[in-house]
Amino acid sequence: MEKIRRIEIIDLFKDSIKETIGQEICVKGWVRTKRGNKSVAFIALNDGSTIKNIQVVADVEKFTEDQLKRITTGACLKVEGLLVESMGKGQSVEIQANTIEIYGEADVEKYPLQKKGHTLEFLREIAHLRPRTNTFSAVFRVRHAMAYAIHKYFNDRGFFYWHSPLITASDCEGAGEMFQVTTLDMENPPRNEEGKIDYTQDFYGKHTSLTVSGQLEGELGAMSLGKIYTFGPTFRAENSNTPRHLSEFWMIEPEMAFFEIEDNMDLAEDFIKYLVQYALDNCQDDLEFLQSMYDKELIERLRFVVDNNFVRLTYTEAIDILSQAKQKFEFPIHWGVDLQSEHERYLVEKHFKSPVILTDYPKEIKAFYMKQNEDGKTVRGMDVLFPLIGEIIGGSQREENMDKLLERMAEVGIEAKDMDWYLDTRRFGSAPHSGFGLGFERLLLFVTGMSNIRDVIPFPRYPKNANY
């Protein structure tokens, strides 16, 4: 017998499907809902390829009572039947089932995704099953589309995808928030003469951690291939239980030789706009669903970002604005403080009503590698601030002058001998260069309209949670 062709559900919603009407087809997927009456059952089937379900119409006479009883929400089916035009609204075709094979049942008593309208908090407790919901399948399809668009953007512009190591002996951001990597016996570690743990006996012969950023090795790439980008996981052991922090998150870090801070800002703005436009063009069904469920202004907000220039100003100008603000902040404002999310959001949402790029921060609140300005006080750093999110990008022009860099490292207590490989970029053929890091999940928060970062990554990592 000839095998009946399986069609993915997304293809059933394309115009070209009209040619297949009247033919026998096969669909496979998970039952979202089943309803019906004495003579007919309607099964909404979803295979993950799209937010849309295909309606399977099962004539009660063709199937045994037992068979129909086992078809419940969450069960997985293979359906063969006739593709016909649908009378129901919101769909142009449906399937009149001839045979239904049940690949896997889902016990009504035990399967947790029975009824609709579970809270996001509840779904976070069953993160291994939540991709089966409309919300999370939509979010994760958008996540895929954004990852693809990132590679496309850079590839089309002559950047090379560069792989920085995940295990490293250096702390790029200098914040001391690293997860240690060791194979030493924790119960009984070897000790040196001073009684301290002897890391020379560890796997790498030195103290190592998971990386907080691929930038430092990325700079090596830029100083040879010209324009590179990294896109990989990064790890931060900061004890931040906020809707915007993960301890394992993905970051995109482009690094470009011969780019000054202005070029860096131009690239950051163009890059984000491209990604948002890509989502508008390619994720329409999922964005419309997310808009209808969570955020009525989602698509309007996305369009606004694409259509308007980001406001650019210095940290010092921002401090002036914040000092004059009528709003009372929890963290007081004066020149030199690190901006908190409440300050960033005031600038973006209340004052400018637009994405903002802040530059020229006090050197004390930024990392050692940023290029120092003539004033001796500020560095050529830049943060891109977004509505609802706050900081979405952090970056800078890099200090290319060896002496200035060494001076700054000494001030913050970084041993030059540990960073000799990095300093070689300044020692040999140094060049002006710049780069930035985009937090992938922060971007996804903005694009999907979700409000908790734990809901835009399949298996979130945060303090006290490493399930799955």
Nearest to 433 by CA among 354, 370, 353, 358: 370
Residue with tokens 């030199």: 336
Q: Which of 217, 442, 445, 457 binds ligand 4AD (CB under 6 A)?
A: 442
Closest residue to Mg ion in the complex (CB): 394
Q: Which of 80, 94, 253, 286 binds ligand 4AD (CB under 6 A)?
A: 253
Please state the closest distance from residue 58 (CB atom) to ligand 4AD, in A: 46
Contacts of 291 (CB under 8 A, 6+ apart): 297, 298, 299, 449
Contact partner at residue 173 from ligand 4AD, Mg ion, none, CB < 5 to 8 Å by partner kind: ligand 4AD
Please state the closest distance from residue 132 (CB atom) to ligand 4AD, in A: 25
Q: From CA 106, how far away is CA 113, in angstroms rounded?
A: 10
Which one of 72-80, 208-216, 340-348, 392-400 is the stretch in contact with Mg ion (CB under 5 A)?
Answer: 392-400
Contact partner at residue 343 from ligand 4AD, Mg ion, none, CB < 5 to 8 Å by partner kind: none
Contacts of 309 (CB under 8 A, 6+ apart): 269, 354
Subset of 207-236 contacting ligand 4AD (CB under 6 A): 213, 215, 236
DSSP code, position 61: G
**Lateral strand order in the sheet of 180-181:** 167-168, 208-210, 180-181
Distances 10 to 91, 96, 168, 230, 248 between C-alpha atoms, Å: 12, 18, 43, 32, 32
Q: Which of 25, 56, 113, 246 binds ligand 4AD (CB under 6 A)?
A: 246
Q: 120 burial class (0-12, 13-18, 19+ CB within 10 angstroms)? A: middle
Nearest to 51 by CA among 153, 169, 159, 133: 133
Please state the closest distance from residue 237 (CB atom) to ligand 4AD, in A: 10
CB atoms inside a 10 Å sphere around CB 141: 20
Please state the closest distance from residue 259 (CB atom) to ligand 4AD, in A: 12
If one asks whether residue 394 binds Mg ion (CB under 5 A), the answer comes out as: yes
Distances 180 to 97, 214, 248, 422, 447 between C-alpha atoms, Å: 56, 16, 14, 21, 33
Q: From CA 96, how far away is CA 7, in angstroms rounded?
A: 15
Please state the closest distance from residue 465 (CB atom) to ligand 4AD, in A: 14
Number of residues that bind Mg ion (CB under 5 A): 1
Q: Which is nearer to ligand 4AD, 336 or 463 (CB)?
A: 463
Q: Which is nearer to ligand 4AD, 73 or 396 (CB)?
A: 396
Contacts of 209 (CB under 8 A, 6+ apart): 167, 168, 169, 171, 178, 179, 180, 181, 235
Which one of 118-126, 130-138, 388-396, 453-461 is the stretch in contact with Mg ion (CB under 5 A)?
Answer: 388-396
Torsion of CA 358, 362, 364, 366, to 10 degrees: 20
Contact partner at residue 278 from ligand 4AD, Mg ion, none, CB < 5 to 8 Å by partner kind: none
Q: Which of 30, 235, 249, 446 binds ligand 4AD (CB under 6 A)?
A: 249
Task: Assess contact for 434 and 260: CB atoms under 8 A.
Answer: yes
Q: Which is nearer to ligand 4AD, 25 or 261 (CB)?
A: 261
Please state the closest distance from residue 167 (CB atom) to ligand 4AD, in A: 17
Q: Which of 74, 355, 437, 460 binds ligand 4AD (CB under 6 A)?
A: 437
Subset of 356-415 contacting ligand 4AD (CB under 6 A): 391-396
Q: Which of 436, 444, 449, 457 binds ligand 4AD (CB under 6 A)?
A: 436
Contact partner at residue 395 from ligand 4AD, Mg ion, none, CB < 5 to 8 Å by partner kind: ligand 4AD
Strand residues in 60-216 grouped as ranges (E): 76-85, 93-104, 160-161, 167-168, 180-181, 208-210
Number of residues that bind ligand 4AD (CB under 6 A): 23
Q: Is the dihedral of CA 160, 220, 359, 346 positive or negative?
A: positive
Binding residues for Mg ion, rule: CB under 5 A, are 394
Binding residues for ligand 4AD, rule: CB under 6 A, are 172-173, 213, 215, 236, 238, 245-246, 249, 251, 253, 391-396, 435-437, 439, 441-442
